Structure formats: C-alpha cells, structure tokens
A = this chain, B = another copy of it.
C-alpha cells in the first residue's frame, strides 16, 4: 500500500513526492529503471540482491535521513519497506543539478551510498558469527544511538541474509551474547547493550591508522610497460 502525502515542485520543475509505504512493500526491484532516488523520513528500508541459487544478500538497512537507490540506469538492488515507512522520492535528474534541497552537494548523496556499501563489506569481512553479529549491533547502536535499548525492526532472517549467516546461527549467537552478559533481550526485537566495550572488541572495530603516508619522491625517469598506453591517450 502506497500513500501520497505531498507533492513538491522544485525551482527547476522537478517533482519530489512524499510517500508512505506499508510494511513489506517493494519500492523498486532489481533491474527497474532508476528514475528516482529516495530519502527516508521515518521507518526502515532494506535493499537486497538475489543470487542464482535463490538466496538473498541484504546489502543494507536504511534509517531516517539515509539515502538509497542512487544508481545510474537501472537499479542493481531491490528495496523493500522493513517497517511502515515515509520517504521523500526524488527524480534522478535532480542529482545532475549541483545540489539537493538541503544545499548539500549531490556528491554527498553518492558518497553516503558508498559509505553504506563499505559498511556492508566491513560486516561481511568479519570471520566468525559472533564477530559479525557484534559488529552489526555496534553499528546499529552507533547509528541510532544506544540510549536505553536498541530496536531491531528487521527479522532474524533479514539479519542472517545481511551477515551471510543462517537464521539459526544468528539466533544462537544473539542468545549467546545475552548469556555472556554483553546484551540483554527484552523480546526478540528489543536489545539493550550492557557491555558496549566488550561488544566492540568482539566486533573488532578496525585498527585506526591515522598517520599520513607522507613524502613522495618525484623522480623523472624512463618508464617500462606503460609507455604505449601513455602515448595512446595524449593529454592537452
């Protein structure tokens, strides 16, 4: 079920709609022409791709103020409403203009999408189930604010498909984290983080390397294999 709340016309004439989708609604499918990109006002959206064997890879969860569906040509992912959700739907052309309605440069929208993809890679890069689940919980807590309990509106199946695990392993791991006193459960969707430090160390927050790679030697010398390519593409 989709509801139109409001339609707004930009100076340029592009039309931005404010829409409400009910839980479970598909916003767009993999392969659909990417006519719009989306910004969440409230609720949660998931994006996913399907592998040939039928299994689903969830590529991201998106919260209020997050942006998704930023793609050129066709959507490479499917987007669905995890909860009832209100979104602001922007025509894709709008990206071409210098800035979005907030005055932020259009690139920031893409960079946020890129950051989201990197977050997903980071999660999947963890070795064990405990690592991944802990990293997932930490990421959500940091995103939403861990203050007095984290809501997990998505199902265990969603989490499993996001982390590359089975629903069973996710459930077992979460139970185990609770048993070890790192979190407390108040129903499956309501998690309270008791030991953030412990969770973070389990999550393996990346080692912060913050120094500059520094000096470069700028020495003019003859090249080797790349000269041909070089000549093939002369520059002004």
Contact = CB atoms under 8 A, between A and B. Distances in A.
Interface of A: 1-6, 8, 16, 18, 20, 26-33, 41-43, 49-55, 57, 59, 64, 70-72, 76-78, 84, 86, 95-96, 101, 105-108, 110-111, 113-115, 117-118, 120-122, 124-127, 164, 201, 204-213, 216-221, 223-226, 229-230, 233, 235-236
Given A42-B229, A120-B121, A229-B41, A212 B111 contact: no
B51 A207 contact: yes
B52 A206 contact: yes
Contacts of A124: 121, 124-125, 164
Nearest to A20: B223
Contacts of A49: 122, 125, 206
Contacts of A117: 114, 117-118, 121
A72 B107 contact: yes
A106 to B, nearest CB: 7
Given A28-B213, A84-B224, A114-B114, A108 B53 contact: no
Contact of A32 (B96, B213, B219): B213
